[in-house]
A = this chain, B = another copy of it.
Amino acid sequence: MSLTVNFGYALSKKLAGHGISNEMLKPALERTAKALDHIRTERGANKLPYLDLPEDGKTKAACKELADKYDGYENFLLSGIGGSSLGPLAIFNALGHPLHNMLSGAKRKNHPRFFALDNVDPVQVDALFNFCKPEKTVYNIISKSGATAETASASLIIFDLLKKRMGNDWKKNIVCTTDPTSGDLRKLCNDEKLQTLPLHSGVGGRFSVLTPVGLFPSYCLGFDVDAMLAGAAEMRERCLDSDVQKNPAAQMAALLYLFDSTQHKKMHVMMAYANGLYGMADWFRQLWAESLGKELDNEGRVVNVGPTPLKALGATDQHSQVQLYIEGPYDKVFLFLECKKFGKRVKLPELYDNVSSLNYLGGQTMNKLIAAEFAATREALAQRGRPSITITFPEIDAHAVGEFFMLWEMTTSLAGALYRINPYDQPGVELGKQLTYGLMGRAGFEDKAKGIKV
């Protein structure tokens, strides 16, 4: 069973002038086909290593081996931000029990609770360090360079805490996922002989979910890593298909690019109709925004492009956002995530036969209700000229999760080519980092923050 993608509600015949016509789509798909050729060439020259992560058995084995050491641990505390936390959080959200962290050890099958320390909020930080007993917690510090101030500051707390609480054993519960050869964190790990996992050179943070960034936590939580990687590999083949009519990444990239560039639909709303897929929308939000939001194109011209990704949750946000979606400006396209088969079936009891707002529900299932809510919302949007694309998960499992990651990573590479920008850098965040260093008094940055009040 594989993900299916339905582009029907994006095309103009269903949308009375608001969709994309075949005449518009054709030249965009031709450009996409050329971009695909380029991707194949770059892959051959080892310039797109993210594509070949599913076959990296050596790294996978290293993750598994380390994870086995933490069998029976109570807590997994991931310290990382951005691409170092969004992938693992999405996996945990999709494949974990909704109340995983509150279940007893037995009900968790002795897998650890999972926490992401992904901010520098003092209240959150204090709460997490107080909750997790160091002796029973594995601390996974994830930072490619080690220079990220947020992760660096959390690392100081982790090192200090473990040195104080565990003495000579202080390194036992620390695993650092970082660049295999360069960076401050790598150097520190080498000097201190800390346990490490490699964050592949050439794979940027937002494309790193299938490196140890995502694999090590997945093993610790008991998720099916092999299925996830197999799903990613299968999707890669579908997205390398030269027949762009059958290639979901090519269709996706071409349509979303056209909605932005020709119809001013600059907001791409990913609306998950399953709580377990909401984390996927958060992961997508970084990938799409940071990859495509760029000031300069490949020729150095100022273009200031980039669609804005939004996340939404169905049916919940029908009572929050859909009024705007359906009546507001024609500035959005919707990316629905549908789940065909949920892990549970919930029957609705037959009660109050005389109450017309209740009696039609009795005897049916909540599964049918959420499916109806989704179908009704998509249809209502279409009737009001609002286009959408639907990605259907046969069920929410590791295979589908792997497919989803690869689908969007490859769509992003192709969209980068259509926008004529570099989807792999993030030059815009540099200024803020330097100002932060300046405000914190880091050597060499003292002058940067003059005149800024904190």
Residues of A at the B interface (CB closer than 8 Å) are: 81-83, 86, 97-99, 101-102, 118-128, 131, 145-150, 152-153, 155-157, 159-160, 184, 187-188, 205, 266-267, 274-276, 285-286, 289-290, 292-295, 304-306, 308, 310, 313-316, 318-332, 342-346, 348-349, 351-352, 355-358, 360-362, 364-373, 375-377, 379-380, 383-384, 426-429, 431-433, 435-443, 449, 452-454
Contact = CB atoms under 8 A, between A and B. Distances in A.
Given A316-B119, A319-B83, A294 B328 contact: yes
A131 B99 contact: yes
Contacts of A306: 324, 327-329
A123 B98 contact: yes
14 contacts: A82-B318, A119-B316, A122-B346, A149-B369, A156-B349, A156-B358, A308-B310, A308-B324, A308-B328, A308-B332, A310-B310, A326-B428, A375-B453, A377-B432
Given A342-B121, A375-B435, A369 B153 contact: yes
Contacts of A320: 82, 86, 285-286, 289-290
B348 A157 contact: yes
A351 B136 CA distance: 23
Contact of A184 (B157, B358, B449): B358
Contacts of A321: 285-286, 289-290
A376 B293 contact: no
A420 B294 CA distance: 35
Contact of A376 (B120, B356, B449): B449
B155 A360 contact: no
Contacts of A348: 153, 156-157
B454 A360 contact: no
Contacts of A126: 344, 346
A152 B435 CA distance: 52
B188 A323 contact: no
A297 to B, nearest CB: 11
Contact of A304 (B329, B368, B379): B329
A366 to B, nearest CB: 5
